[in-house]
Amino acid sequence: MVSEITIALDLDSVLADVMQIWLEEYNTIFNTKIKKRDISDWHIHNILSISKQQITDLFIMVWQKRWQDIPPTSNDLSDVIIQLQDKGFRISIITKRERVTMPFVAHWLDLNNIPFNDIVFIFDDVSKSHFPFFLLVDDSPINAKEVVTPKQIIIFDQPWNKSLASYTRISKLNELIDLV
């Protein structure tokens, strides 16, 4: 069964360090100096004086206007994913986002030479846990709590998921190689 050999990788803040550019834009708009380490809650509106809609709109703008500036979370993503594929794993990129950002995500993946077997765009509130994979690498505390055995999750370390103490975590994707 395909799901038994599929590793699902989240895009934002696992492959693409989008918060770096998002915060540049936020700081310019609001004349602040917020750093990524200051975002200690998944729900950004609990930390910053900004509405949920403004958060979404800013993410859309970053993907539409600055997708080329979004750095990968590390420079070896392509090599790491190829190593995982060489080990026999299918790589599925799974991302929850606004539909208008789809083409820019595709361009970003091409620009950064990110190999994958398939990509899943989620536009509604369906949990990532409903999709076929045996392992999810994600930064979301919400997704962490929704993944149940036999599926597994590894947390990609970010300031907003430090409360997830009982989960296996990695800070770079290359750490995954020794875990699978």
Q: Among this protein's residues, is 10 annotated catalytic?
A: yes
What is the value of pTM for the model shown?
0.94
pLDDT digits (tens, 9 = 90+) for 162-171: 988 889 999 9
State the average pLDDT for the chain: 94
Q: Among this protein's residues, is 118 annotated catalytic?
A: no
Give the active site residue among 12, 79, 138, 157.
12
Q: How would you write the chain as a 3-class SS string?
A: CHHHHEEEEECECCCECHHHHHHHHHHHHHCCCCCHHHCCCCCHHHCCCCCHHHHHHHHHHHHHHCHHHCCECCCCHHHHHHHHHHCCCEEEEEEECCHHHHHHHHHHHHHCCCCCCEEEEECCCCCHHHCCCCEEEECCHHHHHHCCCCCEEEEECCHHHCCCCCCCEECCHHHHHHHC
CATH of 2-16+71-179, one of 3.30.590.10, 3.40.50.300, 3.40.50.1000, 3.30.70.3270: 3.40.50.1000
Domain ranges in the chain with CATH number 3.40.50.1000:
2-16+71-179
Give the active site residue among 10, 38, 118, 139.
10
| Mean pLDDT, residues 145-158 taken together | 93
pLDDT digits (tens, 9 = 90+) for 25-61: 999 999 999 999 999 999 999 999 899 999 999 999 9
